[in-house]
């Protein structure tokens, strides 16, 4: 017999795996099958690939300058087994980067990097609207925007090498986060002031769980732009920069975003 769960009403407020019910000492069959399906989706997300053809085709309408780059991890298996290679560009990508700094070598205010991370699914589904929103808001601020860079088999730290090579004074890395059982499509944004190779996690701010059931794209753009504006004004990022943005009711979603300095992707 399937005993009703007294906490079932909480499921109206979250997509988390709660109030599953029970049959004796076990989960009901439906709950078990749902768990197995979500587990399979999370595993698939880790091995998913960027839809480069579609992403690049749409990116050209968002920003006239963009680059398609590759880390030193040549395939997915290498990427998962050698995190260090995912933090560095291959030689071809480095050459492309050297050729694309600002014409007068003055650099750019903002660099944007898109990387597959641990869920290319998250990038395929969520990245472009956020990129479009950030570029729109940056232009309104009078900021110059570097060529948008899409990196295959990339980790968070690869953005530092890219932004430094382009001469970008601020950096946003949009990356697929480690999939959860209810969030195989979660994207994170990592923000750095004065990015350069060798920086570690305390130098970055993180806005995570960007997805329809977490922090929607429009609100993510608002949060990221607030942090970028503070970075530019105070000329710092990471643990020295606290998020004092007023909390609005609309920011409270069924699966709240984690906003702080702790990365959600193993890097």
Domains of the chain, first to last: 45-260 (3.40.50.11240)
Q: Could you tell me the sign of the dihedral formed by the alpha carbons of 38, 42, 47, 53, in that order?
A: positive
Report pLDDT for 255: 41
Query: Residue 264: what pLDDT?
Result: 45
Q: Which residues does 189 contact at the CB level (< 8 Å), separation at least 6?
A: 130, 172, 173, 174, 175, 206, 207, 208, 210, 220, 224
The SS3 of residue 169 is strand
Which residues are registered as beta bridge partners of 205? 191
Helix (H, G, I), strand (E, B) or coil at 5: coil
pLDDT of residue 129: 96
3-state helix, strand, coil in the chain (%, to 5): 40, 20, 40
Q: How far apart are CA 180 and CA 35, in angstroms?
A: 11
pLDDT for the residue numbered 260? 42
DSSP β-ladder status, 2-3 and 66-70: unpaired
Q: State the Cα–Cα distance between residues 66 and 131, nearest whole angstrom.
A: 12
What span, in angstroms and rounded, lies between the C-alpha atoms of 97 and 207? 26
Count of C-beta atoms within a 10 Å radius of residue 157: 24
6 DSSP assignment: T
Q: How far is residue 118's CA from residue 66's CA, in Å, rounded to a whole number?
A: 22
Rounded Cα–Cα distance for residues 240 and 22 (Å)? 47
Residues 157, 267: contact at Cβ < 8 Å?
yes
DSSP, collapsed to helix, strand or coil, labels residue 208 as: strand
> What's the rounded Cα separation, in Å, for the pair 148 and 239?
26
pTM: 0.86
Res 256: pLDDT: 42
pLDDT below 70 — which residues of the chain?
A: 1-4, 101-105, 248-267
Closest CA to 151 of 79, 237, 229: 79
Number of Cα atoms under 13 Å in the Cβ half of residue 261: 14
Reference 257, options 205, 208, 184; nearest CA is 208
pLDDT of the residue at 104: 58
43: which residues sit within 8 A by CB, 6+ positions away?
A: 179
Q: Using alpha carbons only, what angle is made at residue 88 by residues 159 and 224, rounded to the nearest 5 degrees? A: 10
Identify the CA nearest to 206 among candidates 218, 185, 220.
Answer: 220
């Amino acid at each position: 017999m399937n005993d009703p769960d007294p906490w079932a009403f909480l499921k109206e407020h979250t997509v988390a795996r709660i109030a599953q019910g029970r049959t004796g000492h076990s989960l009901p069959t439906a709950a078990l099958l749902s768990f197995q399906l979500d587990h399979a989706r999370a595993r698939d997300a880790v091995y998913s690939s960027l839809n480069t053809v579609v992403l690049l085709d749409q990116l050209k309408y968002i920003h006239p300058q963009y680059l398609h780059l590759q880390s030193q991890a040549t395939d997915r298996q290498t990427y998962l087994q050698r995190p260090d290679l995912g933090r560095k560009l291959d030689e071809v990508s480095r050459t492309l980067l050297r050729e694309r700094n600002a014409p007068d070598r003055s650099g750019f205010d903002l660099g944007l990097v898109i990387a597959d991370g641990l869920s290319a699914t998250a990038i395929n589904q969520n990245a472009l609207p956020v990129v479009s929103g950030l570029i729109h808001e940056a232009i309104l601020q009078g900021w110059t925007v570097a060529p948008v860079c899409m990196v295959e088999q990339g980790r968070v730290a690869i953005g530092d090498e890219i932004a430094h090579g382009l001469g970008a004074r601020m950096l946003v890395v949009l990356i697929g986060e480690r999939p959860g059982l209810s969030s195989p499509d979660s994207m994170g944004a990592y923000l750095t002031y004065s990015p350069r190779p060798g920086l570690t996690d305390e130098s970055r701010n993180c806005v995570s769980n960007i997805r329809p059931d977490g922090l929607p794209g429009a609100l993510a753009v608002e949060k990221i732009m607030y942090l970028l504006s503070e970075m530019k004004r105070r000329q710092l990022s990471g643990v020295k920069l606290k998020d004092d943005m007023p909390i609005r009711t609309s920011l409270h979603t069924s699966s709240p975003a984690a906003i702080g300095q702790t990365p959600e992707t193993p890097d």
